[in-house]
Amino acid sequence: GKVLGNRYEILEKIGDGGMALVYKAKCTLLNRYVAVKILREEFVNDEEFITKFKRESQAAASLSHPNIVSVYDVGLEDKNIHYIVMEYIKGKTLKELIKEKNGLSIEETLNISMDIADAIGNAHENGIIHRDIKPHNIMVTEDGRVKVTDFGIARAATSTTITNTNSIIGSAHYFSPEQARGGYIDEKSDIYSLGIVMYEMITGTVPFEGESPITVAIRHIQEQPKLPSEINSSVPKGLEKIIMKCIEKDQTLRYSNIKELLRDLKEFKIHGDTQVKEPYNS
Ligand code: ATP
Ligand code: MG
Ligand code: MG
């Protein structure tokens, strides 16, 4: 196959996103597999996308965490192939996993949620907001390790208002209300998206759907979601409370940081199953 940067031999395509294509490749110098994310051809002359792509590689490369995909290298070939070289993850996306199993067990949901929270927490500590947390951007290996990918629209936490005009926006199903409004975004926006992912893991479905991204976005702003236990009666109250606190529309009622969320998840993991059941109405 084609060789990029004199060392990355492109093998098969392993992923297809809105902005890029992802290939398995072999680094012939280090003799190891890598993943190479190549900016889609239609965007190679688009300054906005090139800037985004650079920002993505720099955001991810500035982080070093077991639950965040490592970035090894970036490159430009023939003045028109922009690429990012990453750690190759052998596994499935969380989206595929949820679909296959039609929702995950409480234990799987809890373990995966804690790993994602660890990854996001590390990004936040380093001043980076992911902004595109969704199951397509989370990989799970065969032995259950979790890796967050795609810092494609990540931003420095200090940046001001972000509007979504002229950009490929993340999937509306995981948008926080403030993101849907094009308003000010901070760490709590990632917490909301993670809450939607947790909701989907435990119920097999996202809380808000609709005919168009706009419809879905409006629902995130206006509509109260069904409780997870109304969809899956085996969802424990303790876990439900945690999920609902992540997806509070009012940012002041949401978990204010990942540490708080992790504390509750750990607490639930230790005591959740033995928690006293709420009394039945007599
Ligand atoms: P989006 O439309 O979500 O913005 P994108 O164009 O930014 O997508 P990615 O999400 O980074 O692209 O990658 C697309 C897909 O490629 C992922 O959903 C995943 O299936 C696969 N993939 C990405 N990175 C890796 C990796 N490091 N190892 C293995 N597979 C990967
Ligand atoms: Mg993606
Ligand atoms: Mg992306």
Distance (Å) from CA 131 to ligand 1 centroid: 15
Confidence at residue 162, expressed as pLDDT on a 0 to 100 scale:
36
The Cα–Cα gap between 101 and 72 comes to 33
Confidence at residue 253, expressed as pLDDT on a 0 to 100 scale:
97
Confidence at residue 154, expressed as pLDDT on a 0 to 100 scale:
66
The Cα–Cα gap between 169 and 159 comes to 17
Confidence at residue 125, expressed as pLDDT on a 0 to 100 scale:
96
Residues near 255 by beta carbon (within 8 Å), at least 6 away in sequence: 188, 191, 245, 246, 261, 264
Confidence at residue 46, expressed as pLDDT on a 0 to 100 scale:
87
Residues near 129 by beta carbon (within 8 Å), at least 6 away in sequence: 123, 154, 155, 156, 157, 185, 186, 187, 189, 190
Q: What are phi and psi of 3, to 5 degrees?
A: -115, 125
Residue with CA nearest ligand 1 atom 16: 15
Q: ipTM of this model?
A: 0.96
Confidence at residue 173, expressed as pLDDT on a 0 to 100 scale:
95
Residue 82 neighbours by CB distance under 10 Å: 21
CB 156, CB 127: distance < 8 Å: yes
Residue of 21, 63, 88, 139 to mutate, ligand 1, most atoms within 8 A of C-beta: 139
Cβ of residue 152 lying under 6 Å from some atom of ligand 1: yes
Distance (Å) from CA 135 to ligand 3 centroid: 12
Pairing of strands 71-77, 81-87: antiparallel
Confidence at residue 119, expressed as pLDDT on a 0 to 100 scale:
97
CB 40, CB 20: distance < 8 Å: yes
Residues forming a β-bridge with 13: 23
Distance (Å) from CA 151 to ligand 3 centroid: 6
Residue of 21, 23, 32, 37 to mutate, ligand 1, most atoms within 8 A of C-beta: 37
Per-10-residue mean pLDDT, the chain, length 282: 95 90 97 95 86 85 95 91 95 97 96 98 94 95 94 58 42 93 91 98 97 94 97 95 97 96 94 55 40
- 3-state DSSP call for residue 183? coil
Residues near 17 by beta carbon (within 8 Å), at least 6 away in sequence: 136, 150, 152
Pairing of strands 128-129, 91-93: unpaired
Active site residues: 132
CB 115, CB 67: distance < 8 Å: yes
Distance (Å) from CA 84 to ligand 3 centroid: 12
Cβ of residue 17 lying under 6 Å from some atom of ligand 1: yes
pTM of the model as a whole: 0.91
Residue of 137, 140, 145 to mutate, ligand 1, most atoms within 8 A of C-beta: 137
Cβ of residue 246 lying under 6 Å from some atom of ligand 1: no
